[in-house]
């Protein structure tokens, strides 16, 4: 499969299951189109998503 950023509508429909599996816990966001992925190789301009720490009271 080519990069998620480059998929057109028909290709997205064809790879729905695979995209849903990757989207469950994304680690990267594309700076160009804001799509999410687990693997940085699937995006054209990946940017690591940082976990925000939550303080407990």
What are 12-39's pLDDT values in tens digits?
888 887 777 765 788 999 999 888 888 8
Domain-embedded: residue 42: yes
pLDDT computed for residue 22 by the predictor: 65
Tokens of 9: 């509508």
The alpha carbon of 3 is separated from its chain's Cα centroid by a whole number of angstroms, namely 10
* Structural domain containing residue 25: 4-48
Domain-embedded: residue 55: no
Domain-embedded: residue 15: yes
| Residue ranges with strand state E in 1-57 | 28-30, 36-37, 46-48
pTM more than 0.75: no
Domain-embedded: residue 9: yes
pLDDT computed for residue 55 by the predictor: 64
Number of domain units in the chain: 1
Instruction: For residue 18, give every residue at least 6 positions away whose Cβ sits within 8 Å of its Cβ, in sequence order, or none.
Output: 1
pLDDT computed for residue 44 by the predictor: 93
């Amino acid at each position: 499969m080519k990069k998620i950023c480059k998929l057109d509508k028909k290709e997205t429909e064809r790879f729905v299951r695979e995209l849903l599996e990757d989207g469950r816990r994304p680690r990267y966001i594309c700076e160009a189109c804001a799509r999410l992925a687990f693997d940085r190789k699937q995006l054209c301009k990946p940017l690591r998503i940082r976990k925000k720490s939550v303080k407990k009271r």
